[in-house]
Amino acid sequence: MKVYLVEIGCYSDRKVVGAYSRKDAAEALMAQIKHAVDGCRIHEVDLDRSGVVLAGYQPFDVRIERDGSADVDRCISETDRGHAIFAPTAEDWGKTLRVICWANDEEHAVKIANEVRTRMIAEGTWGK
């Protein structure tokens, strides 16, 4: 069985705005919103598949500074790996932000962490 997810946004800012059992229902929502939002698409997912993440994605632990410099490691801890299955998780460590995310490679992980960093700086939530 398949589920059709209507998504908006890009990379770590992607959000699911609808989930449907029929593709035509997902297409109807997408037709209504695609002109008003960026990155609108339908993502087809097999229900009850093994594994939660997309094939090829790996868990990464990124520590990023306010200036954008970053250190990246693959996640080993099962606790850390589980935190970011559906969205990146961020911990504010004062001068450093720790972001745990699933990504294709280290460069992709840093890009995701940088999006979280820039959003927190813009919103004024870093260090609060």
**Contact in structure between 5 and 26 (CB atoms under 8 Å):** yes
Residue 20 has a pLDDT of 92
105 backbone φψ class: left, alpha, beta (φ>0; ψ -120 to 50): beta
What's the whole-number mean pLDDT along residues 102-127?
Answer: 88
Unique residue bearing structure tokens 């693959």? 74
Per-residue pLDDT of 8-18, as tens digits, reads 877 666 788 88
Look at residue 49 and tell me whether its pLDDT is greater than 60: no
Q: What percentage of the chain exceeds 90 in pLDDT?
A: 19
Domain residue limits, the chain: 2-46, 58-123
pTM: 0.55
**Contact in structure between 62 and 74 (CB atoms under 8 Å):** no
- Rounded CA-CA distance 41/1 in Å is 20
- Rounded CA-CA distance 34/100 in Å is 30
Listed in sequence order, the DSSP H helices in the chain are 23-33, 78-83, 106-123
